[in-house]
C-alpha cells in the first residue's frame, strides 16, 4: 500500500506497448495517450486489441514490451489495486458488480473502513449521494444491485471508480447495453467529468458515439494504431475506412417485397424466466412471408425467453405459437425445426455450436440422422464431406479444414457456419437472436446481406437484437419489448432512434 499517489493525473502515455497471447499478437507496438480534461476515443473492431491495451493500463495484464508514463514519469502497473491507487478507474464492458449486495456495499468492497474492523455503510451512502449529485448519477445507495436497471448499474460502476478517487477513467464499450436516452445521460455525465478535469478513455466501435463525445480518436486495427486524429477533423466514413481498412456498406437497399401469408404467429404468449418470474406477458406478433420483423429492447426484457418459447426450448405457460399453420406450442425443438423453423441462438458458443466438435460435425447437428447424410443407421461420410464443403464455400467460412474444432475459428466464422447450417435447410421461418454480436464488420456485412437475401426468398424472419442500428437497417417492422411486453410496433422506414428509445424505456408514446 506504500505507493504514494503522484498527485492528480495530468497526462498518461503508453509507448510501444506489445502484448502476445498464444498464437495472437494482441498489441503490436501501440502508442496511446490521454490528458486531463479530454475524452480520447479508442476505436476498433472486436479483436483489434482495444480491451487488451486497457487491461494493461489497469494492471490486469503485464505488457511484453513498452512503457507507461504517468505525468511524464515511467512506472509499472502491477495490479488493479495499484492502478486504483494511482487514480485510474475502469468501467468494464461486463459490469463488475455483485448482485446480492447493495449499491453501497458494492462501492466499498476492498476499501479500508473508517470504523476499522466494521463496515460503515452509512458514511459510504452519504458520500455516494454527494458524488451522485455532483455528476448526475442518481442511484439509491441502499438498493440491492439486482433490483437496478442496467443503466443504473452502470452509474454504480462509475460511482465505484469516482469513490476511489479516479482521475482517469477507462470506459470499455459503455453504451452497448443502454437505450439512446441513457446514452445521452451518460454523455452528460462524461462531459461534466471532463470539465472537472478528469481524463477519459472511451472504447467503442460505434462511429456516431466517437463523433458525439470525443476530442481525439485513436483507431486500432489488428493490434496496431492505424490512425490518430482530432475528432473535429474527421467524419464517420473516414473513421470506418480506417477501422476496417476499406469502404464499408452501412445502409442496405432492400428490394421492395409485398409480404405474403403469415408464417410465424405468436398469440398471447406467456412464459417464465429462469427464476420463475413472468418473462413474457401476453406477447402477440406476426411475421409474414418475405418480411423481417425486428425485436428491439434493452437486454433482459424477455427477448431471450421469446426466442426460446418459439423454438421449443422454454415451456409456454399460456398462448400459442403457430409456424406455417401448424400449432407448435410446447412441441419439442425437433418438431419445431421440422415445421420449418431455423434458429440462430444468441449464445453462439453455448447453444449455436458444440465447440469441441469439428466443423463438419457442427454442420450436420440437425440433419445427421436424415438422408442423404445418413444411410440407414450409419453416417455417410462422403456425402457429409460434400455437404460441409458446399456450406463452407457458399458461406465463406474461413477454416483450415473440416476437421478443425469449431472453438479455433473466429467469432465471425463460427457465426457464418451457424448461418450456413440454418439457412441451408431452406427455412420458412428464421429466428435470429443477436446474429452479429461480437462479430467483426466484414462478417456483419455478410450476415446482413444473407438475411436480406433470405427475405427475398420468402423467409419470415424474426430478428432479435440489442443493436438498434442493426434493427433499423434490416427490419420491415420493429416491435419494441419492455418487461416482457410489446410496447409498440413501428414501420422500419418510419422509425427514429428517439422514438424506439422511449419505447425501450417503457414509455408509450
- Residue 2 in the binding site for other proteins (CB under 8 A): no
- Contact (Cβ atoms closer than 8 angstroms) between residue 267 and residue 322: yes
Interface region with other proteins, contact rule CB under 8 A, candidates 93-101, 217-225, 256-264, 286-294: 93-101
Residue 101 in contact with other proteins, rule: CB under 8 A? yes
Least distance (Å) from other proteins to the CB of residue 84? 5
Q: Which stretch binds other proteins (CB under 8 A): 97-105, 236-244, 297-305, 395-403?
A: 97-105
3 state DSSP class of 103: helix
Q: Give 417-464 as a DSSP string.
A: HHHHHHHTT--SEEEEESTTTT--HHHHHHHHHHHHHHHHTT-EEEEE
C-alpha distances in Å from residue 11, one per residue of 92, 167, 191, 345, 424: 22, 10, 18, 44, 54
Residue 436 in contact with other proteins, rule: CB under 8 A: no
- Strand pairing of 292-296 and 460-464? parallel
In contact, 476 and 492? CB cutoff 8 Å: yes
| 495 forms part of the interface with other proteins (CB under 8 A) | no
Q: Does 100 bind other proteins (CB under 8 A)?
A: yes
Write the DSSP symbol of residue 350. I
Place of cell 405474403: 260
By CB under 8 A, is residue 105 in contact with other proteins?
A: yes
Of 27, 46, 52, 436, which lies in the binding site for other proteins, with binding defined by CB under 8 A? 52
Tell me which of 78, 111, 188, 385 binds other proteins, using CB under 8 A.
Answer: 111
Output the smallest distance, CB 217 to other proteins, in A: 25
The pattern of x and - marking residues 301 through 340 that bind other proteins according to CB under 8 A reads ----------------------------------------
Q: Does 165 bind other proteins (CB under 8 A)?
A: no
Closer to other proteins by Cβ: residue 112 or 255: 112
Indicate the residue among 61 and 360 with the shorter CB distance to other proteins. Answer: 61
Rounded-to-integer distance, Cα 436 and Cα 465, Å: 9
Q: How many amino acids of this chain bind other proteins (CB under 8 A)?
A: 34
- The interface with other proteins within residues 16-35 (CB under 8 A) comprises 21-22, 24, 26
d(CA 371, CA 366): 12
Residues 6+ apart with CB under 8 A from 86: 3, 5, 6, 9, 70, 75, 77
In which order are the strands placed within the sheet that holds 341-344? 341-344, 429-433, 460-464, 292-296, 477-482, 485-491
Residue with cell 441502499: 142
Residue with cell 455532483: 134
In three-state secondary structure terms, 186 is helix
Nearer to other proteins among residue 119 and residue 229 (C-beta): 119
CB 463 within 8 A of CB 432: yes
101 versus 176: smaller Cβ distance to other proteins = 101
255 near other proteins, rule: CB under 8 A: no
Query: Which one among 73, 246, 275, 508 touches other proteins, defined by CB under 8 A?
Result: 275
Among 7, 16, 74, 99, binds other proteins (CB under 8 A): 99
Q: Is residue 263 a contact partner of residue 323, using CB atoms and an 8 Å limit?
A: yes
**74 is an interface residue for other proteins by CB under 8 A:** no
What is d(CA 363, CA 47) in angstroms, rounded to the nearest whole number? Answer: 25
109 lies in the site for other proteins, by CB under 8 A: yes
Among 37, 80, 180, 333, binds other proteins (CB under 8 A): 80
323 close to 264: Cβ distance less than 8 angstroms: yes
* Residues 463 to 492 in contact with other proteins, rule: CB under 8 A: none
- Contact region with other proteins (CB under 8 A), list: 100-108, 178-186, 192-200, 208-216: 100-108
* Minimum distance from residue 141 beta carbon to other proteins (Å): 14
Considering only residues 96, 374, 489, 507, which one is a binding residue for other proteins as defined by CB under 8 A?
96
The label of the residue with cell 514490451 reads 65
By CB under 8 A, residue 3 contacts other proteins:
no
Member of 98, 237, 365, 426 binding other proteins (CB under 8 A) = 98
Of 99-107, 231-239, 379-387, 459-467, the segment contacting other proteins by CB under 8 A is: 99-107
- Burial string for 73-82 (b: 16+ CB within 10 Å, else e) reads eeeebeebeb
Residue 97 touching other proteins (CB under 8 A): yes
Q: Which of residues 17, 36, 54, 84 is near other proteins by CB under 8 A? A: 84
Q: Which stretch binds other proteins (CB under 8 A): 58-66, 187-195, 431-439, 482-490?
A: 58-66
Q: Which of 340, 479, 490, 302 is nearest to 422 (CA)?
A: 340
Stretch that binds other proteins, among 98-106, 179-187, 253-261, 263-271 (CB under 8 A): 98-106
CB-CB contact of 462 with 492 (8 Å)? no
Determine which residue in the list 3, 113, 138, 370 makes contact with other proteins, applying CB under 8 A: 113
Residue 227, CA distances (Å) to 46, 68, 105, 245, 357 in order: 17, 20, 42, 11, 39
Q: In the set 8, 18, 60, 176, which binds other proteins (CB under 8 A)?
A: 60
Nearest 10 degrees: Cα torsion 306, 478, 433, 289: 90
For residue 323, the minimal CB distance to other proteins (Å) is: 33
Of 95 and 343, nearer to other proteins (C-beta) is 95
Would you tell me which residues interact with other proteins (CB under 8 A)? Answer: 21-22, 24, 26, 52, 58, 60-61, 79-82, 84, 90, 92, 95-101, 105, 108-113, 117-119, 160, 275
Amino acid at each position: 500500500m506504500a505507493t504514494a499517489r503522484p498527485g492528480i493525473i495530468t497526462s498518461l502515455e503508453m509507448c510501444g506497448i506489445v502484448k502476445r497471447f498464444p498464437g495472437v499478437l494482441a498489441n503490436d507496438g501501440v502508442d496511446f495517450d490521454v490528458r486531463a480534461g479530454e475524452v480520447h476515443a479508442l476505436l476498433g473492431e472486436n479483436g483489434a486489441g482495444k480491451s487488451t491495451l486497457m487491461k494493461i493500463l489497469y494492471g490486469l495484464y503485464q505488457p511484453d514490451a513498452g512503457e507507461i508514463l504517468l505525468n511524464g514519469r515511467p512506472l509499472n502497473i502491477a495490479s488493479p489495486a495499484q492502478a486504483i491507487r494511482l487514480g485510474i478507474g475502469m468501467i468494464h464492458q461486463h459490469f463488475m458488480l455483485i448482485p446480492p449486495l447493495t449499491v453501497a456495499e458494492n462501492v466499498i468492497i476492498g476499501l479500508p473502513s473508517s470504523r476499522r474492523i466494521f463496515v460503515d455503510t452509512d458514511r459510504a451512502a452519504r458520500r455516494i449521494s454527494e458524488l451522485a449529485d455532483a455528476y448526475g448519477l442518481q442511484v439509491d445507495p441502499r438498493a440491492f444491485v439486482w433490483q437496478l436497471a442496467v443503466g443504473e448499474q452502470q452509474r454504480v460502476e462509475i460511482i465505484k471508480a469516482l469513490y476511489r478517487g479516479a482521475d482517469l477513467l477507462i470506459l470499455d464499450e459503455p453504451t452497448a447495453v443502454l437505450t439512446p436516452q441513457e446514452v445521452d445521460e451518460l454523455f452528460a455525465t462524461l462531459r461534466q467529468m471532463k470539465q472537472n478535469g478528469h481524463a477519459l478513455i472511451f472504447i467503442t466501435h460505434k462511429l456516431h458515439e466517437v463523433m458525439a463525445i470525443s476530442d481525439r480518436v485513436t483507431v486500432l486495427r489488428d493490434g496496431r494504431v492505424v490512425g490518430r486524429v482530432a475528432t473535429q477533423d474527421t467524419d464517420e466514413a473516414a473513421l470506418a475506412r480506417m477501422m476496417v481498412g476499406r469502404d464499408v456498406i452501412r445502409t442496405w437497399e432492400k428490394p421492395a417485397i409485398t409480404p405474403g401469408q403469415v408464417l410465424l404467429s405468436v398469440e398471447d404468449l406467456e412464459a417464465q424466466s429462469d427464476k420463475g418470474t413472468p418473462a413474457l406477458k401476453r406477447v402477440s406478433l406476426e411475421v409474414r412471408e418475405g418480411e423481417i420483423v425486428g425485436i428491439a429492447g434493452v437486454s433482459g426484457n424477455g427477448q431471450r425467453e421469446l426466442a426460446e418459447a418459439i423454438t421449443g426450448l422454454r415451456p409456454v405457460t399460456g398462448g400459442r405459437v403457430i409456424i406455417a399453420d401448424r400449432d407448435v406450442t410446447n412441441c419439442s425443438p425437433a418438431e419445431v425445426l421440422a415445421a420449418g423453423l431455423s434458429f440462430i441462438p444468441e449464445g453462439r458458443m453455448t447453444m449455436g455450436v458444440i465447440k469441441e466438435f469439428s466443423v463438419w460435425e457442427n454442420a450436420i447437428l440437425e440433419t445427421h440422422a436424415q438422408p442423404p447424410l445418413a444411410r440407414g443407421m450409419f453416417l455417410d461420410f462422403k456425402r457429409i464431406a460434400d455437404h460441409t464443403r458446399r456450406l463452407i464455400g457458399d458461406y465463406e467460412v474461413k477454416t483450415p479444414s473440416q476437421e478443425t474444432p469449431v472453438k479455433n475459428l473466429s467469432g465471425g466464422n463460427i457465426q457464418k457456419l451457424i448461418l450456413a447450417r440454418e439457412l441451408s435447410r431452406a427455412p420458412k421461418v428464421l429466428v435470429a437472436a443477436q446474429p452479429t454480436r461480437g462479430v467483426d464488420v466484414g462478417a456483419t456485412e455478410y450476415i446482413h446481406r444473407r438475411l436480406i437475401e433470405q427475405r427475398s426468398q420468402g423467409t419470415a424472419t424474426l430478428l432479435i437484437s440489442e443493436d438498434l442500428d442493426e434493427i433499423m437497417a434490416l427490419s420491415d417492422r420493429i416491435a419494441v419489448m419492455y418487461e416482457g411486453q410489446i410496447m409498440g410496433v413501428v414501420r422500419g422506414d418510419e422509425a427514429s432512434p428517439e422514438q424506439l428509445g422511449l419505447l425501450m424505456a417503457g414509455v408509450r408514446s
